[in-house]
A and B are shown apart, each in its own frame.
Chain A
């Protein structure tokens, strides 16, 4: 049995195996993306891994970036296609925390998680700004990774820069917009897509980065949307753009807005308010003030339970947002045109140019 090693040693071993795989592969390549004004370079051990990771970031792609310095390198590898096993140090069940954090292989600079839901290891070296996403076999990765890839790595690294990956939709115009907070099924996706169709800019449907300097600001990360069948029925024009056409019955339809309407995606805007959508049977939509604590609950619960490395600083970070902007209940009516007109009116009637 392998022995316990230090977090840094585990990272170094994993990184050296990746580097060897990268060197050995004739199809290894890199792509760069500007995420929240930071240059993030994805380094693929071979070309079989890219299809799942790049479409969601395509709206933030940096062209001809081969010689540019990156702020963060994310190394993406699987053992099956590279024939490179990951060295597994010793562990026991008690080494794991609830959301997959491997505390024995983490410290102030190295964060190691085993993502139970997709079966991958995620290692982030905050000191050297290098992260590793390691899967057993890319063919067995779950479909939803393509919609919001590398969540845990992006969250851990961006936290160091004061940004929090947050489970929220975001739509607006260039001068500002709203966050849509709430768990799945609350109406975030429907509202975000309807607003995009009505002429607002789209930052996110489910995950975005939130910062505070110099003002509350939301940054786009993914251009994807994951839609339930009943939501798809409301947007039939999206049917030709479903990326996972052979999806299983339990899978949502995956859309990349970059394929649908790239001019309506924006990389970010100031946050003017947090909306908490709630479905109603009424025809009209009503926007009414709600308590900031309710909005903090809606924003924080689904964020903190879905991501690793979210503790008191994350809750404080989201509270800081809510101390700066107002919170509203968005009582969604059944008429989508009235939903969007209410939001556009709230934003002062301004749509995209």
Chain B
């Protein structure tokens, strides 16, 4: 029997907000930001309540009247993507209390099933400190490494 997988939303350096059934996620450490809509946003909300992959698959399949086999593959791809982006952490046991009866509610605003996708934006990455402090001068001030160009803020 396969052990169930649980996913926990990363709390270190990752912040997010839901607005109008969509999710905005910002990875402050890396400089990437993300947008989730539809099924992807609903899955993220399920992850907040209960990170069980099996439960997500069952819920999605039941709501859209689709086979669990098909949904399992697509949900796993999406969760792998979230994990690769370090937005979630894989656990072998739940760190969240068992989900409530509201789980089904997350899909009410979603129309047809669409493959969950993570929209990623990386255009702000250069604004972050890359390698902040290499050394200090004789007065103790930090020095910018000479190889790192100045970034012109708008």
Contact = CB atoms under 8 A, between A and B. Distances in A.
Contact of A322 (B19, B37, B150): B19
B22 A100 contact: no
B20 A93 contact: no
Interface in A196-247: 206, 226
Contacts of A291: 20, 22, 37
Contact of A297 (B31, B121, B141, B144): B121
A29 interface: no
Interface in B6-35: 15-17, 19-20, 22-24, 26, 28-29, 31, 33, 35
A80 B36 CA distance: 50
A304 B127 CA distance: 10
Contacts of A329: none
Nearest to B135: A93
A96 B142 CA distance: 11
Nearest to B30: A98
A85 B129 CA distance: 25
A48 interface: no
Contacts of B35: 293-294, 297
B17 A316 contact: yes
Contact of A117 (B23, B133, B150): B150
Contacts of A316: 17
A292 B144 CA distance: 39
B19 A305 contact: no
B1 interface: no
B92 interface: no
B70 interface: no
Nearest to A144: B153
Given A292-B20, A305-B31, A119 B144 contact: yes
A99 B26 CA distance: 14
A162 interface: no
Contacts of B139: 79, 85-86, 88
Interface residues on A, range: 35 or more
Interface residues on B, range: 20 to 34
A119 B26 CA distance: 26
B154 interface: yes
B141 A88 contact: yes
A4 interface: no
A319 interface: yes
B124 interface: yes
A341 to B, nearest CB: 26
Nearest to B139: A85
B123 interface: yes
Nearest to B128: A98
A142 B23 CA distance: 37
Contact of A311 (B15, B20, B124, B142): B15
Given A88-B140, A88-B141, A296-B19, A98 B28 contact: yes
B20 A142 contact: no
B41 to A, nearest CB: 8
Contacts of A294: 35
Contacts of B123: 183
A305 B128 contact: yes
Contact of B17 (A136, A306, A315): A315
Interface in B61-119: none
Contacts of B129: 96, 98-100, 116
A2 interface: yes
B140 A2 contact: yes
A101 to B, nearest CB: 10
Contacts of A173: none
Interface string A302-329: 1011100001100110010011000000
Given A296-B24, A297-B24, A315-B24, A117 B151 contact: yes
Interface of B: 15-17, 19-20, 22-24, 26, 28-29, 31, 33, 35, 37, 121, 123-124, 127-129, 132-133, 136, 139-142, 144, 150-154
Interface of A: 2, 79, 85-86, 88, 91, 93, 96, 98-100, 114, 116-117, 119, 136, 142, 144, 148, 167, 183-184, 206, 226, 250-252, 291-294, 296-297, 300-302, 304-306, 311-312, 315-316, 319, 322-323
11 contacts: A86-B139, A88-B136, A88-B139, A98-B128, A144-B152, A293-B22, A300-B24, A304-B28, A311-B15, A315-B16, A315-B24
